[in-house]
Amino acid sequence: MQEPSLKIIELKDNFLKFELSGVSPAFANALRRTLLSEVPTLAIDDVIITVNDSVLFDEILAHRLGLIPLHIDDEVYDILREAYEEGKRDEYTVSFVLDVEAIDRPVMVYSGHLKFQAASFGSLSPMSARITPVSESIPIVKLASGQKLALEAIAKMGTGKEHAKWQPVATVAYKYKPKIKILNPKPKDLQKCVDICPKGVLSAESGELKVVNELECSLCRECEEKCPGVVKIG
């Protein structure tokens, strides 16, 4: 039995792709479900609205604020996660304020208008730079000329199984790793076999059919069907 292993293929700020080997599909699916519902994250949970002249009801505004992803650095995250696991999430909170007025023209209120106010658990400095919305350009509501919005938003830790706003990932999916075997590298319709693949997995190099991008294969089996005896998908 192969030892379980994990190899990172692509890592960006908001995207991770990895290859998991030596585990069953059930394990991979359990990992997927755990990422969605069991990893604690920070999200706005309480909103105290002092002025709301906008067209949206208070409840809708609070819901929109809850869905804004928040960035926290590792040190702050560890403090909050530990407190959450000890059942102290209501004591370890982070608050933001938002105060926007459309004086003489309409103004769009964005996530960037949320300003860090305080953390209930100490003064790690500069805290304001370490707890921010992931993006400053998420629209919240548009204010017409003369309207105002003022509120305090309190963020707490939680998990996705309680509410989707605490999901740490937008989505997570897995697929079986394809095994592509070239049975006949010099088929009569070489270019047709290359062109049939919608994912650019096959290529013609020096008159031979080659696999160039195996992980991109979607297992659609078009190549097997349209070029019989040339490619085998496992």
Tell me if 144 contacts ligand SF4 by CB under 6 A. no
Residues 179-198 that bind ligand SF4 (CB under 6 A): 180, 196-197
Q: How far is CA 182 from CA 38, 175, 193, in A?
A: 42, 21, 11
3-state helix, strand, coil in the chain (%, to 5): 25, 35, 40
Q: Residue 155 corresponds to which tokens in the numbers above?
A: 């963020």
Member of 219, 228, 229, 234 binding ligand SF4 (CB under 6 A): 219
Member of 220, 228, 229, 230 binding ligand SF4 (CB under 6 A): 220
Q: Residue 40 corresponds to which tokens in the numbers above?
A: 């604690």
3-class DSSP assignment, residue 35 = helix
Tell me if 215 contacts ligand SF4 by CB under 6 A. no
Applying CB under 6 A, what is the total number of residues that bind ligand SF4? 14
**Sequence-ordered list of residues with C-beta below 8 angstroms from that of 107, at least 6 positions apart, any chain:** 100, 101, 142, 143
Member of 29, 218, 228, 232 binding ligand SF4 (CB under 6 A): 218
Q: Name the residue nearer to ligand SF4 (CB basis): 168 or 178.
A: 178
Positions touching ligand SF4 (CB under 6 A) are 180, 196-197, 199, 201-202, 217-223, 233
